[in-house]
Structure 1
Amino acid sequence: MKVIAMIPARLQASRFPKKLLRDLCGKTVITRTYQATVNTGLFDEVYVVTDSIKIRQEIEAHGGNVIMSVKEHECGSDRIAEAADFVSGDIIINVQGDEPFTRKEPLQDLINVFKNDIHGEIAVASLVHTMEDWEEIVNPNNVKVVLDANQCAMYFSRAPIPHPRDKEVEVTYYKHIGIYAFRRFALLNFPNMKMHQNEATEKLEGIRFLEHGMKMKMVETPYKVVGIDTPEDLEKAKKMVKNGL
């Protein structure tokens, strides 16, 4: 089983433009993310997929592999689906470009989903962790997911799901972590699958797989994802690097 990591890297992020090229204690955010992904030792190949010449030059200057996007894309899955046409691989994992502290353990857990799926029933796998703070649960920036008895996704939403109508019932709320692992066919089919109203209104690409009948396994992880979404996040990340984290 050949396992590939692809890191979609868009330069002009709406909330924090050019964040991937910002300095993070001597290295850019995207370079740290690329090197952290390579250093897991889990992947046969690692690629940064970008539409930016500057990001391409940055990664290639550090000996990395880059695939240039040709088309405009609405989401990271579309971007890496285009790139997947140019490489061979059985399992392709989408690692977020703004996560310089990417760890081995949760990525290994995603790969194990497919190793253990002897009947090939799982098309996509992703990560979740639990939330207990109500302010975090109701925050629409935190994507929630409801799981079935087999830990497969039933639905994603920015709203707090399930709705706590009965306050006496003990409920576990799961936050979706947007690292996807795909069987090759699922990723290549993604751009050809029609976007329906649920995905369009929530702006959550994971819904598309569910609406087209694909089984998505969710893996609970204790590891918190540290992403760079704002200048404040970057300053926190700098402190983490200086503290050796």
Structure 2
Amino acid sequence: MRILGIIPARYASTRFPAKALVDIGGKSMIQRVYEQSSKTKHLDQVIVATDDERIMHHVLGFGGKAVMTSQDHHSGTDRCFEALTKTEGTYEYVINIQGDEPFISPEPIDHLAAVLDGETKLATLVKVIDNAEILFSPNVPKAILNSKNEVMYFSRQTIPYLRNLEKADWLKSHTFYKHIGIYAYRADVLAEITKLSVSSLEKAEALEQLRWLENGYAIKAVITSDDSHGVDTPDDLDRVTKKFLQ
């Protein structure tokens, strides 16, 4: 089973322009993501999919692989599909690795890759929530799983709602899952979902993956103990730098 790891990297960002190239302890963010992702055991190749020549030249400069993609893509999924079509070789699966997690561990990527058996169409990571602030934050998508460890729904709201229980007791009474935004797509399914129109649930929650659920695609959930440490703002960068480099 050949698996291609793709790191989408845009230059423009509303809250943090050019963050892919920001220096973090002597290496750019995108170089750190690339090097961490390349430590995985299951990926046959890792490439950066970018819309900007500055990022392209930078990746090639540190010895990485990159492809240029359109500036018109609305999601990393769309960018991954174009990058797949421009990459030599045949791959059964693509794993979409977030380009703003400079200290991503290779282990959860391998855990996700391990379930890609040819039958699995889509897969993603989830983590048990153990913090009330995360549980009730609308900025942290949550996931509900069925008995097959497939995602039934994603929401920014805390789900399920525990009726007749004080919110202070929710974490003691139920297992809640945080969504970790790394996706695996079977190559033919990736081609299909990029043709889907934006769905009503996706619009309501601003969560792209709801489009797939609303169109009947099963998404396998892989439970990980590793957390995500994404960088959306300069404040986030200060936080992760202090956590991992100091």
Structure 2-normalised TM-score?
0.92
Q: Give the superposition deviation at 1:239.
A: 3.0
Over the matched positions of the two proteins, sequence identity in percent amounts to 38
Q: Tell me the SS of whatever aligns to 1:72.
A: coil
Which stretch of the first structure deviates more once superposed, 173-182 or 31-40?
31-40
Offset of residue 180 of structure 1:
0.2
The corresponding residue for 2:113 is: 111
Give the Å deviation of 1:102. Answer: 1.9
CA contact (8 A) 2:73 2:79 kept: yes
SS of structure 1 residue aligned to 2:114? helix
* 1:181 lines up with 2:155 in the alignment: no
1:70 is displaced (CA, Å) by 2.2
Indicate conservation of the 8 Å contact 2:95/2:183, yes or no. yes
Q: Distance in 1 between matches of 2:31 and 2:126?
A: 25
- Report the Cα distance in structure 2 between the residues aligned to 1:132 and 1:36, rounded to whole angstroms: 26
Whole-Å separation in 2 of the counterparts to 1:214 and 1:16: 33
The answer to which of 208-217 and 131-140 deviates more is 131-140
- Alpha carbons 2:141, 2:156 under 8 Å: kept: yes
The aligned residue for residue 218 of structure 1 is 221
Two-structure CA RMSD over aligned residues (Å):
1.6
Question: Which position in structure 1 is the counterpart of 2:3?
Answer: 3
User: Is the deviation greater in 63-72 or in 210-219?
Assistant: 63-72
1:89-238 equivalences in 2 (<5 Å): 89-115=91-117, 120=119, 122-167=120-165, 170-238=173-241
Question: Equivalents in 2 of 1:99, 1:154: separation in Å?
Answer: 26
Partners of 1:191 and 1:31 lie apart in 2 by 27
8 Å CA contact 2:59, 2:65 repeated in 1: yes
Distance 2:227 2:71 in 1: 32
Query: In structure 1, what is the equivalent of residue 67 of structure 2?
Result: 67
More displaced 10-residue stretch of structure 1: 21-30 or 78-87: 78-87
Q: Is the 8 A contact 1:40 1:104 kept in 2?
A: yes
Quote the Cα distance in structure 2 between the aligned partners of 1:65 and 1:202: 34
Task: Read off the aligned partner of 1:164 and give its amino acid letter.
Answer: L
- The gaps in structure 2 that reach 5 residues or longer are none
Q: Deviations over 1:85-119 (max 9, x none)?
A: 2232111100000111122211111111123x6xx
Q: CA deviation at 1:56?
A: 0.5
- Residue 239, structure 1, aligned to residue 237, structure 2: no
1:142 counterpart letter in structure 2 = V
Aligned-partner residue type, residue 30 of structure 1: I
Residue 25 of structure 1 contacts residue 241 of structure 1 at CA under 8 Å; is this kept in 2?
no
AA partner of residue 13 (structure 1) = S
2:62 and 2:16 map into 1 onto residues whose CA distance is 24
Q: Which runs of 4+ in 1 moved over 4 A?
A: none
What whole-Å deviation, never above 9, does each CA across 1:56-106 have from its counterpart, x for those lacking one? 111010111111112511111111112112232111100000111122211
Cα distance, 1:152 vs structure 2 = 0.4
Task: State the match for 2:16 in structure 1.
Answer: 16
Question: How many aligned residue pairs are there?
Answer: 239
Q: TM (normalized to structure 1)?
A: 0.92
Question: For 2:41 and 2:116, how far apart are their aligned partners in 1?
Answer: 18
Offset, 1:240: 4.1
Whether the aligned pair in 2 keeps the contact of 1:24 and 1:237 (CA below 8 Å) is no
> Take 1:162 and 1:240, find their aligned partners in 2: how far apart are those partners?
32
Task: Specify every segment of 5 or more residues in structure 1 that has no aligned partner in the other structure, as ranges.
Answer: none
Structure 1 distance, partners of 2:194, 2:39, is 30
